Amino acid sequence: MSKLDDLLEKQRLLEEHPPTLQPANLTLVDQVQDNLAMVEQLEAGITQSRDSVQEANNHLQYDLYQPKIKALEDERDQLMQGNMDAHEKERDQKQKEIDSLHVVVKQVKRIMDFLRVETDKDLAINDDAVTASLGGTKVHLGYIFDEDFLKIKLFIAENGKPKNKFTLIAVGRCLFRDHLLKLERGYVAGIHPGFGINLEVAIKDAPSIEELMTWQALPRAGEVFFALKGDYETIKAEYLDVIKNHELHDFKELMTDLCKCGYFYTIFDRVHRPDGVASCPGCHGNMERMVSVS
- Cα(236)–Cα(120) distance, rounded to whole angstroms? 16
Q: What is the pLDDT of residues 181-220, one digit of tens each?
A: 888 777 777 778 878 888 888 888 889 888 888 776 666 6
Cβ pair 284, 294 in contact under 8 A:
no
Report the DSSP beta bridge partners of residue 166.
158, 206
Res. 32: pLDDT tops 60: yes
Q: What is the pLDDT of residues 119-150, one digit of tens each?
A: 888 899 988 888 887 777 888 888 888 888 99
Question: Whose CA is closest to 264, among 112, 119, 131?
Answer: 112
pLDDT of the residue at 275: 83
CA–CA distance from 252 to each of 57, 112, 262, 265, 271 (Å)?
Answer: 77, 10, 12, 10, 17
Is 41 exposed, middle or buried (CB count within 10 Å of its CB: 0-12, 13-18, 19+)? exposed
Domains of the chain, by residue range, sit at: 1-116, 127-245, 248-289
Give the predicted TM-score (pTM) of the model: 0.67
- End-to-end CA gap in the chain: 75
Q: Residue 107 corresponds to which amino acid?
A: Q
Please compute the mean of the pLDDT values over residues 84-88 and round it to a whole number: 98
Q: Packing angle between helix 28-58 and helix 3-16, nearest 10 degrees?
A: 150
